[in-house]
Chain A
């Protein structure tokens, strides 16, 4: 048995299965196109990550609130949308380690993270290992 394990088995389910990814538009990080898959830095990362698990991606669009709700209810496995490590959604969702840093117009450092379901630690650790190996630049 691998430690950590997922209480709800997310990693097992998405491997060779379907990865439900929630997206919300956020500048160059997530660009939504009518009739096409989301583009941008984060969708590209998610696509590469899905490949490592042989998973098909099902994109779901929504507001940040809807994505947080989806993660909480177990309808989503992952959410991207320019989230930073000071995101207020941490009571509803788990958060990866920051995998990229940028600076906004006011000179504040933004540490970029992705959101996962609460407590699905095997899936989270797997995603983090993947993200930390990437060279991410917007």
Chain B
């Protein structure tokens, strides 16, 4: 490809360009699969609460891929005069929207399924006629769940790897949901089999399990999305730990022969980071233009995510900008 893919003014390295192309392709595959899957499940929905919950989860699964596809378009725009930081936050907004949808729907389904359990609703599933045969609709429900429960696991595994390469949290959340989809399918199958065995409560109980998994997804995603939007310290793509790039930059800057100490604050804009590094020069060393420029270029070369970076020479580390920093306060060497 001749045209360079960029996120804002960040030119993506070959590996990330490749991952992005694949991610877009796999999200379209996901959407296609979901369209077929939700239609199939809709046809056999019947009166099963568990099937209804699984179907709604499938419908909600449309949101993350759509969010991802829209966001990856918007963030390609270069920063403008009115948007000097670029449009990276589009990812955060998409993430938040998907999280709220999951949360609300999960809560609604818990109440809905719980009521079914309390009022002892007996789900009625009768016959279906297909190819001239009359048989129990429950069998068809189970087939539909097997067909729609397995492929997302593969899609999830593939997208998880791409999410890591692209440092994309929406893609990560999507992959995580896909990977867990087989559990939803299994719960629905158990619910339908329960009805088959005359255990009316099995269906509502399975629906509750699915509802709680939707709610848990919602809470997890909401925490990550809000965390990003309120400028939490940059964390890895799966939010498991602080992103190591901050420590690497601090380590590099502190090692420079003209630097006494250095600390950075790093926030995650969606894919790329904003880095502000405060450096305290040694007493007799001068932070010349040349030295500052050289240090900045070195830091930007460390990782494609670091592009929007400023180095600020200061007399001492500003505690109000770097909470938790106990400025050494000692005499500068």
A24 within 8 A of B: no
CB distance from A71 to the nearest CB of B (A): 11
A3 within 8 A of B: yes
* CB pair B134 A121 closer than 8 Å: no
Contact of A118 among B124, B129, B134, B198 (CB under 8 A): B124
* CB pair A3 B138 closer than 8 Å: yes
* CB pair B124 A124 closer than 8 Å: yes
- A125: chain B residues at CB < 8 Å are 126-127, 136
A107 within 8 A of B: no
Give Cα A125 to B254, complex, Å.
77
* CB pair B200 A119 closer than 8 Å: yes
CB distance from B193 to the nearest CB of A (A): 8
* CB pair A4 B134 closer than 8 Å: no
Chain A, interface SS category: loop
B287 within 8 A of A: no
CB distance from A137 to the nearest CB of B (A): 19
Chain A 74-94 interface residues, beta-carbon cutoff 8 Å to B = 94
A3 (CB) vs chain B CBs: closest residue? B196
Contact of B134 among A5, A94, A128 (CB under 8 A): A128
Contact of B127 among A5, A97, A117, A118 (CB under 8 A): A97
B102 within 8 A of A: no
Residue count of chain B within 8 Å CB distance of chain A: 19
Contact of A7 among B128, B129, B138, B199 (CB under 8 A): B199
CB distance from B122 to the nearest CB of A (A): 2
With A3-B136, A4-B136 given, is the CB distance from A119 to B127 under 8 Å?
no
Give Cα A31 to B197, complex, Å.
38
With A4-B196, A129-B134 given, is the CB distance from A97 to B124 under 8 Å?
no
* B interface residues (Cβ-Cβ under 8 A, vs A): 121-129, 134, 136, 138, 193, 195-200
Q: Would you list 15 pairs from A and B whose C-beta atoms are within 8 A, ordered by A residue? A: A3-B196, A4-B138, A4-B195, A4-B197, A4-B198, A5-B196, A5-B197, A94-B124, A118-B121, A118-B122, A118-B124, A119-B121, A121-B126, A124-B127, A129-B127
